[in-house]
């Protein structure tokens, strides 16, 4: 919810939706990119869901990555953020890399984020 009210989501086809708002919502894409719970890919995450997921797969994945708990920073998890997590360490240094699928571009058409 934002000051312009709740928007409307319209299904176009199995892979496309359209968002409609009563007023301009210039930060919508940025908010959408940060809304990991809202935009989490079902085809991937359902395998790891506490009730629907495969317990053996979950246990094997945690053991393989030497993790004691389930974490948001799984490097295989599809993300919309500009920088994506790429290490399995429980302690720093943690590594992030540029997301090649990040949605934003500058006025010249160069994709963000820039790599310095």
Helix (H) or strand (E) holding 55: helix 55-64
> Which residues, 6+ apart, have CB-to-CB distance to 115 below 8 Å?
98
Greater confidence, 114 or 92? Answer: 114
Mean pLDDT of all residues in 8-22:
92
Query: Apex CA 83: angle with CA 78 and CA 87, to 5°?
Result: 75
Q: What is the pLDDT of residue 88?
A: 61
Give tens-digit pLDDT for 27-80. 887 777 665 555 667 787 788 887 888 889 988 988 887 776 666 566 666 777
Q: What is the pLDDT of residue 97?
A: 86
pTM value > 0.75: no
């Amino acid at each position: 919810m934002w000051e312009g009210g709740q928007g409307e989501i319209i299904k176009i086809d199995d892979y496309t939706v359209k968002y409609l708002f009563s007023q301009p919502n210039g930060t919508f894409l940025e908010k959408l990119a940060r809304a990991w719970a809202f935009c989490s890919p079902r085809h991937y995450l359902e395998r790891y869901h506490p009730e629907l997921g495969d317990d053996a797969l979950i246990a094997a994945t945690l053991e393989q990555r030497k993790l004691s708990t389930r974490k948001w920073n799984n490097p295989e998890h599809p993300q919309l953020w500009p920088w994506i997590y790429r290490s399995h360490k429980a302690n720093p240094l943690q590594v992030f890399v540029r997301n090649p699928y990040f949605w934003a571009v500058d006025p010249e058409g160069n994709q963000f984020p820039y790599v310095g």
